[in-house]
Structure 1
Amino acid sequence: MDWLQLFFLHPISLYQGAAFPFALLFNYLCIMDSFSTRARYLFLLAGGGVLALAAMGPYALLIFISALCAVALVSLSGPQEVHRLTFSFQMGWQTLCHLGLHYTEYYLQEPAPVRFYIALSSLMLLTQRVTSLSLDIREGKVEAASGGTRNRSSLSVCPSETLPFASYLLFFPALLGGPLCSFQRFRACVERSSSLHPCLSLWALTRRGLQIVGLECLQVALRRVVSAGAGLDDCQQLECIYIMWSTAGLFKLTYYSHWILDDALLHAAGFGSETGQRSGEEGYIPDVDLWTLETTHRISVFARQWNRSTARWLRRLIFRNSQRWPVLQTFAFSAWWHGLHPGQVFGFLCWSVMVEADYLIHTFANLSISFWPLRLLYRAFTWAHTQLIIAYIMLAVEGRSLSFLSRLCCSYNSIFPGVYCVLLFLLVKRKQKCN
């Protein structure tokens, strides 16, 4: 039965798979030059509306309200205030929706409907697109509706041309998942001629499909191991470490397969190729780099490579605009964006401390360790420690509830982030003495 249900375990995967034929159809019609530009925008927008209704049911209204208000704010606001207004509204609306989830789960003690979870996930992705576009308008990459100096590299968003923007917010290949695509890239991909439209690579889709099958098979095998083991309540020492590592591995495999599927859907629709990219456009990057994530011995590298388009978005939105404690502010905002569950707040703040410790520890090690066998041993040790700290953070974030967080913190697994906290304290003291 596990193998029969392999590709139908997660509702989002099911709906993404259902959208796949329509993504191929859109790409084919663009290649055959059977679509006018307006028809392409309408196809993507209508597909997003239908997919939202199918996947979210009545909760699709949360997405439609957000997109409609974002279109209105961009159309009525000037380039200097558009980002502040859209950011405030979007994060406020998303927070209200997350508070509704908190009320259901923590106060009513009832599980929220699956469609509500899908709507919240899609709303988080919509927040990325809204704030990305508002930043582009503020920085002059896209011309605001209320006017401004036009330059050759900017794209216009006029009141009479809101269709491209509405289509960008709700286009179906990226509605439920996928790397963040900038508005400039989206518009360039939609409006390019058939001669510049990339031909679909069957090998690229086949390779992604094989990766998904392999990851799903590993999930089935690891799920049996996790379900057969004990919990964090009654584990002892090394058993606790093994349970944490295997459970976090199951979460990672789930994320990897979802991200590859999302990337395949965008590629099938023609948005995942670098062919025909104009100068000045933001390049496309998939969310997952399996090799880097599983081999890095640095927590800071893992943070930059985990969900790469979201990491790049957070760096642009928060990190570069923070005057003090940019790492802490970035991870604190990430906890807010994810919903402010107790485990998420603890997990992301712990991650920020681990990143700060990572910078100091590796800087000190690079200056102190010159003998290559010791460097090799150091790299192996820090790789294992990094994987265990990431597993600890992942369990805190995915556990979310205060009860699970308390069990995790009281387990032997807290030793691993604790070691980095002690090293951070010692290295900060040493740095202050040297200064």
Structure 2
Amino acid sequence: MDWLQLHPLSLYQGAAFPFALLFNYLCTVDSFSTQSRYFFLLAGGHLLALAAMGSCAVLVFIPALCTVVLIHSLSPQEVHRCTFFFQMSWQTLCHLGLHYTDYYLQEPPSVRFCITLSSLMLLTQRVTSLSLDIHEGKVEAALSGIGIRSSLSGRLREALPYFSYLLFFPALLGGPLCSFKRFQARVQGSSSLCPRHSFWALSWRGLQILGLECLRAALRWVVSAGAGLRDCQQLECVYVMWSTACLFKLTYYSCWVLDDSLLQAAGFGSEFGGGPAEDAYIPDADIWTLETTHRISLFARKWNQSTARWLRRLIFQRGQAWPLLQTFAFSAWWHGLHPGQVFGFLCWAVMVEADYLIHTFANLFIRSWPMRLLYRTLTWAHTQLIIAYIMLAVEVRSLSCLWLLCNSYNSVFPMVYCILLFLLARRKHKFN
């Protein structure tokens, strides 16, 4: 998701708040049936999609419809493979349209089309999560419940939960991935609305968003007043990279807290339900861990947590060879395969591999607490600079900007980890 598109997304997410609160309230009304709840979430998703995407919303509606058709047409053993390849093929074609506009026509893409691509990426998460649940037997597909002689109304009634899950408005434009079982339990259960608790929880998130936006505005003024990546010289480029990456991170943090607040307002937050660990609610932003960790591998697990957990389940745990590389390569594909994304995610995979070896050897040889404190301080600073390097590589669109980044002093930081990876891998091989 391009950080430049997060501001209009936030506007539409904010506009959906009253409807999320209304849904949570209506769940306390006895006359508001389960079917009505599914329909309310689905209708809200359609209206939000049309408002945010315009005519481009059809690019989201079509794969959602096809997914439901595939779920009702295929056996549980086949449904994941077919829905995965269909959804990723559709999303890739849409991303290629963005590439054509961006690189061939040299024109800025429309904001509505970029919002559509962001929504498609989130739809891919829900589609593959649902198909995996069916494949693994965690969710019973409606195939057996819809016979050949079933009426049209019966088929639509059985398909409504799937349509509603794929397009429900609190998660259409952002937010942590919600599993189908958790979604279904929330819709079929009673409201989790506790006015006093909900008020303080949402107020706290509102204060977080306000603080993050104030920091972002101040940092944006500082970044715009200074030199850019094209104008910086030598060590000045390190400061430019770090400050620009901080601006990106604050933008994402603010957006994630807002998305989390919308799901909380609708009753899909952490206060609802228990269930297995894999279905537990995990907010995307763990700001404290992200800003204090000295481990690149931990940063990778905590950055956009629900997406990291989804990638782990979809790719890493199912990969036969080089699962780490497969996971980051797929993440580059899912994000759109821009040159900076391919370079950035593959660099991230190498850095995580180096991180494992470096900290394993450090734990063996560094014993005294002063040395451990010094080690943690240095690795924290190095981790933040490597993450800043990766973030700039992923976010820049033009090859010229990527070339400037690679030719700057900033490349020293990932290069140090690459050298250590080579040396420690040889030493590990000797030990083995």
Check whether TM > 0.5: yes
CA contact (8 A) 2:289 2:302 kept: yes
Deviation at residue 245 of structure 1 after TM alignment: 0.4
Alignment of 1:82-101 (within 5 A): 82-101=79-98
Deviation at residue 224 of structure 1 after TM alignment: 0.6
Cα gap change, 1:280 to 1:347, in 2 (>3 Å): closer
Q: Is 1:353–2:350 an aligned residue pair? A: yes
Cα gap change, 1:279 to 1:314, in 2 (>3 Å): closer
Partner secondary structure for residue 181 of structure 1? coil
Q: Is 1:283–2:280 an aligned residue pair? A: yes
Partner secondary structure for residue 320 of structure 2? coil
CA contact (8 A) 2:25 2:193 kept: no
Instruction: Name 2:291's counterpart in structure 1.
Output: 294
Instruction: Name 2:194's counterpart in structure 1.
Output: 199
Which of 396, 413, 427 pairs up with 1:430?
427
AA aligned opposite 2:395: E
AA aligned opposite 2:292: T
Instruction: Name 1:3's counterpart in structure 2.
Output: none
Which of 329, 336, 343 pairs up with 1:339?
336
Deviation at residue 198 of structure 1 after TM alignment: 3.8
Cα gap change, 1:38 to 1:352, in 2 (>3 Å): same
AA aligned opposite 1:104: T
Instruction: Name 1:379's counterpart in structure 2.
Output: 376
Q: Is 1:181–2:178 an aligned residue pair? A: yes
Instruction: Name 1:137's counterpart in structure 2.
Output: 134
Partner secondary structure for residue 31 of structure 1? coil
| 2-structure distance, mates of 1:339, 1:403 | 18
Q: What count of residue pairs does the alignment treat as equivalent?
A: 418
| 1-structure distance, mates of 2:230, 2:179 | 45
| 1-structure distance, mates of 2:347, 2:259 | 29
Cα gap change, 1:228 to 1:47, in 2 (>3 Å): same
Instruction: Name 1:59's counterpart in structure 2.
Output: 56
Which runs of 4 or more aligned residues in structure 1 lie more than 6 Å from their structure 2 counterparts after TM superposition? none
AA aligned opposite 1:124: M
Deviation at residue 159 of structure 1 after TM alignment: 7.2
Which of 8, 11, 14 pairs up with 1:14?
11
AA aligned opposite 2:28: I
| 1-structure distance, mates of 2:225, 2:126 | 41
Which of 70, 73, 77 pairs up with 1:73?
70
* Unmatched tracts of structure 2, length 5 or more: 146-153
* Unmatched tracts of structure 1, length 5 or more: 1-7, 149-156
Q: Is 1:213–2:210 an aligned residue pair? A: yes
AA aligned opposite 1:121: S
Alignment of 1:26-41 (within 5 A): 26-41=23-38
| 2-structure distance, mates of 1:281, 1:390 | 27
Return the TM-score normalized by structure 1.
0.94
**RMSD across aligned positions (CA):** 1.6
| 2-structure distance, mates of 1:429, 1:96 | 42
Partner secondary structure for residue 141 of structure 1? coil
CA contact (8 A) 1:260 1:288 kept: yes
Q: Is 1:254–2:246 an aligned residue pair? A: no
Residue deviations 1:217-257 (CA, integer Å, cap 9, x gap): 00100001110111222322321111000000000000000
| 2-structure distance, mates of 1:282, 1:9 | 27
CA contact (8 A) 1:75 1:158 kept: no
Partner secondary structure for residue 143 of structure 1? coil
AA aligned opposite 2:35: R
Deviation at residue 278 of structure 1 after TM alignment: 4.4
AA aligned opposite 2:194: C
| 2-structure distance, mates of 1:222, 1:312 | 31
CA contact (8 A) 2:270 2:282 kept: no
Instruction: Name 2:360's counterpart in structure 1.
Output: 363
Which of 36, 42, 46 pairs up with 1:45?
42
Instruction: Name 1:5's counterpart in structure 2.
Output: none
Instruction: Name 1:244's counterpart in structure 2.
Output: 241
Q: Is 1:170–2:167 an aligned residue pair? A: yes
Which of 306, 316, 319 pairs up with 1:319?
316
